[in-house]
Chain A
Amino acid sequence: MASETIFFLILAFSIVVSSLLVVTLRNPIHSALSLVSTMLMMAGVYALLNAPFLAVIQVMVYAGAIMVLFLFVIMLLNLGDDELGERRFTLSKFITAGGAIFLFGAVAFGITTLGSGEPGSPQTAYPGLSRLVAVPGADEVACSEARAGVEGDHCEEVWVGGQEGRAAGTYDAASKTWRPAPELARSVALWERFGTVEWVGRSIFGKWVFLFEVTGVLLLAAVIGAVVIAKRRL
């Protein structure tokens, strides 16, 4: 068993347990601490997913800033035991919880059965997971700035009109299929750049710069909103 698999299983198990604790623990402080541990382990999973930048952000922003904010508020409110309220289990709560679990089951079932639909199997007619991770259709394929990550590599000038950008590989016009160059897909250069600050930053400040600016406005609004709401008197 590969080390990735081992790490994944350990982390997944711990995350599920600690997130269950978040939900079930009565004291908010305990819940918050469980959440912190969940976040940290999530950062580990991110790291497994070749996302070092996001893993760091997760630790700093979530486990750091946001959770501190939570704890701060919890302490500020300083709820007594009676104020925490009784545990009340009503029928509707069971139903909703059952619904949520059912939902999870359905999604998981869908992921496992539909997602790995083999070509030619009945499931492929259904746009399942395989489609999402698979190579986009010829219409979407073209060389893009993403190619900058694999400089000097072969890139067919296939420009089929999509805005997805360009990709390295060959496009077979007859069968209308796109074959990524296998040596590129596994190239060290690609994975050295994947998920790093530099290349995530290039994407944020390149393709997504407008959204980034909008997020800035959102944060500003949140700051002002939080101050206004939390203030005792205006």
Chain B
Amino acid sequence: MIPMFAMGASDHDDHGHDDHGHGDHGDGHGGHGDHGHGEHGGGSSWWMYLLGFLVLAPTLMCLFNGVVGSSGVSYNPATGEYSSPILMAIILAPAIGAVINGTIGQKLPRPIVNLVGCAAIGLAFLFSISAVGSLMGLEAPAAEGHMAHQPIVYNAFKWIWVGNFQIPAKFVLDPLSAVMILIITGIGTLIHIYSAGYMSHDPAYARFFTYLNLFCFAMLILVLGGNMLLTFVGWEGVGLCSYLLIGFWYTDDAKASAGKKAFVVNRVGDFAFIIGMFLIFTAAESLDYQAITQLATTPETAGPLMGIATAATIFIFIGCTGKSAQIPLFVWLPDAMAGPTPVSALIHAATMVTAGVYLIARMNALFILAPTTMWIVVVVGGVTALMAATIAVVQNDIKKVLAYSTVSQLGYMFMAVGSGALTAGVFHLMTHAFFKALLFLGAGAVIHGLHDEQDIRKMGGLRKSMPIIHWTFLVGCIAIAGVPGFAGFFSKDEILWNVFAQVHAGAPMPGLHVVMWIVGVLTAGLTAFYMFRLYFLTFHGESRVAAGVTPHDAPAAMAMPLIILAALSAVGGYLGVPHILGGLVHWIPGIGEAMSHHILHTWLEQVFTPSANALSIRFEHDQEVVMEWVTMGVSVVVALGAIAASWMLYARPSDVPKTVAERASLPYKILSNKYYVDELYALLFVKPTLLIGRFFHKVVDEVLIDLLLVNGAAWVMESMGAIGKRLQDGNVQRYAGYVVLGLGAIIFLLLIK
């Protein structure tokens, strides 16, 4: 497929492109095709092997090709931009999969549907690797220790072209969107493969894969879109797919309602997003990210943006709270667990819910102009993180725990981006995508293996019957808990350190950041506690599995993604090794040198504005190094302590949890009822809405519209008809007479004019 796109590029632009390095790799498949998948448990059906072949062989090929070759990238000297149709290929691959499965999927046999669904996103992954490889190759001169890459821009077509409101369908691959598309397509591929196993008993598998592919399509538009409106298209698209997938089993009323709830709550945020766009357009006269960043970072032109920055960013942040489940719009995410578990993993943990973080990172130049918004983001993120973590402690549904955990972790990311530590936010976004997808998939595998049992009180002791799930889940728990060496440790620690270091970086309210740091540490402890509570209750202790259910381990299709994700959760953090720990990994042969720096930070800082980077932390002073050691130590101690506590409470038979619940019945009740937020919203919004609705139904609709307007109009027409029907008596001559009269009137009017 790579040579094909190279040809497309030469059609597209015939000067300045270099198409060396591809075109002769087409026969490179065979060599790598037949290893790499069989070891994850045999017994899979034939299509698994085919898929493994299809994915792995070209992966290596594309890796090579992407790094060495150029994946059809061409240079346009007129605009000074690099362009490649491969961006379209990335986006369209899942769309094509969705179209195929959505139209003829029901008629196709199940393996074909699985294959189409997985291949669509798998291809997108390959293209992404190739494109990101090309992006790495487009290095521009930069200062020592920094990187600069030319973004790859693809203008697909003119979308909206009205006066000075010109919106092209423009896709941009820069370091930030590169990270995002690798997460989306990479984890997306794993989850698609997993879904093939998970949905193996569901008759509506074609619909499922259609939605899943459609989701990936929308999500890719969201992150690759070069302007806010295009992002909004993806934003709405993922919202739609989220709705469709939460209510996937729509015959269940509760699940359909959960879908509706997610949709409606998201609308609130989307509304704010739109207003934010309006504001930005009035000031910047453009919705293009590059243009906005350009305007905002140039002191001479930032004036109009300054005026609206606070308002616009607050509105955009409200949009983010809707999509990323923050206070006050987080209520939909726990309910969203009604969808199939792979959906929870892909949409409601790894990708869609992080769109808000992505958006703020994308628009960092504007957010930097609005310090007020920044501390609002920090506070909202911190409060959400703590609140969701406390709720998670008392949940008994395995997916609900993970859902609240997700809300909490998203709060973490907002704390990071709100502190100006954009790299840390995106870093945590990435590691969280690894381990939370892993945890959800593990939970899904448990649910699958127990025949749709989700209550952890009816689990226990599963580590023997589900060894693969057990070990991978444990890795996920360790990662999220922040045990040193695993992915979560690096990203979470970076966030905590950045929040704390704001005090030194001259933040307007130092006290606030100290409080937020304490909140963060507390949340980290709670996270470790509830995750290991979940782990111990599920996999240790006595088996409380209902009689008649034989737990079984994950089948191959589900085990393979679990293992890969577990590996990523374990090592993913080494992309962002903090400076002070750099020496610790230095010894690793080959890559140790590179890893001793914060790779992700170097990669991402070029997209973030210099002012944003000014807020992120420098490591020059010894004092700060000491501080960093201290904060890191505190968070590690808290995490380990929390793990120990949950081991004491839940790994062995213990009366303490029950006693605590009884002693502190009021807090317990509040927590298990999720702070009564749903009830509060019902009282504040739903009831009044229903009342208004009833008013409109009874008074406006039945009286005003039905009686007065509809029947009234009919009555008026009828009365007029009674007069008119005397005129219309069927006598042709009289009709002709009317014509003559009218003609006479016209002529008369012309004459007297």
Contacts and interface: CB of A to CB of B under 8 A. Distances in A.
Chains A and B directly touch (beta carbon < 8 Å): yes
Given A109-B751, A110-B751, A103 B734 contact: no
A99 B740 contact: yes
Contacts of A3: none
A133 B704 CA distance: 62
Contact of B737 (A92, A106, A109, A110): A92
B737 A96 contact: yes
B741 A96 contact: yes
A102 B751 CA distance: 13
Interface in B724-752: 733-734, 736-737, 740-741, 743-744, 747-748, 750-751
Nearest to B750: A110
A74 interface: no
B751 A96 contact: no
A38 B139 CA distance: 98
A146 to B, nearest CB: 32
Interface string B341-384: 00000000000000000000000000000000000000000000
A99 B744 CA distance: 7
A103 B737 contact: no
Interface string A111-148: 00000000000000000000000000000000000000
Given A96-B733, A96-B734, A106 B751 contact: yes
A107 B744 CA distance: 9
B740 A103 contact: yes
A95 interface: yes
A53 B751 CA distance: 36
Contacts of A110: 747, 750-751
A107 B736 CA distance: 18
Given A96-B741, A99-B740, A100-B740, A106 B734 contact: no
Nearest to B741: A99
Contacts of B734: 92, 96
A96 B732 CA distance: 12
Interface in B697-740: 733-734, 736-737, 740
A93 B736 CA distance: 11
A123 to B, nearest CB: 11
Interface residues of A, number: 12
Nearest to A114: B751
A103 B733 contact: no
A101 to B, nearest CB: 9
A144 to B, nearest CB: 33
Interface residues of B, number: 12
Contact of B744 (A92, A93, A106): A106
Nearest to A100: B740
A106 B752 CA distance: 10
A34 to B, nearest CB: 21
Interface in A70-117: 92-93, 95-96, 99-100, 102-103, 106-107, 109-110
Contacts of A100: 740
Interface in A173-199: none
A103 B750 CA distance: 12
Contacts of A103: 740, 743-744, 747
A106 B748 CA distance: 7
A106 B744 CA distance: 7
A96 B747 contact: no
A102 B737 contact: no
Nearest to B743: A103
A107 B750 CA distance: 11
A107 B740 CA distance: 13
Given A92-B734, A96-B733, A96-B734, A106 B747 contact: yes
B726 to A, nearest CB: 11
Contacts of B748: 102, 106
B744 A102 contact: yes
B737 A95 contact: yes
B588 to A, nearest CB: 86
B426 to A, nearest CB: 68
A99 B733 CA distance: 13
Nearest to A107: B747
Nearest to A113: B751
Contacts of A99: 737, 740-741, 744
A106 B746 CA distance: 10
A8 B736 CA distance: 32
A106 B747 CA distance: 7
A102 B750 CA distance: 14
A231 B741 CA distance: 38
B583 to A, nearest CB: 89
A109 B751 CA distance: 9
Nearest to A109: B751
A96 B744 contact: no
A95 B741 CA distance: 9
Interface in B303-338: none
A109 B744 CA distance: 12
Contacts of A107: 747
A103 B747 CA distance: 8
B750 to A, nearest CB: 8
Most chain B CB atoms below 10 A, which of A92, A99, A100, A109: A99
Contacts of A95: 737, 741
Nearest to B733: A96
Nearest to A105: B744
A124 to B, nearest CB: 15
Given A99-B741, A100-B740, A110-B751, 11 more contacts: A96-B733, A96-B734, A96-B736, A96-B737, A96-B741, A102-B744, A103-B744, A106-B744, A106-B747, A106-B748, A109-B751
17 contacts: A92-B737, A95-B737, A96-B733, A96-B734, A96-B740, A99-B737, A99-B740, A99-B744, A100-B740, A102-B744, A103-B740, A103-B747, A106-B747, A106-B751, A109-B751, A110-B747, A110-B751
Interface of A: 92-93, 95-96, 99-100, 102-103, 106-107, 109-110
Nearest 8 CB-CB pairs, A to B?
A96-B737, A106-B747, A103-B744, A99-B741, A99-B740, A102-B744, A99-B744, A100-B740
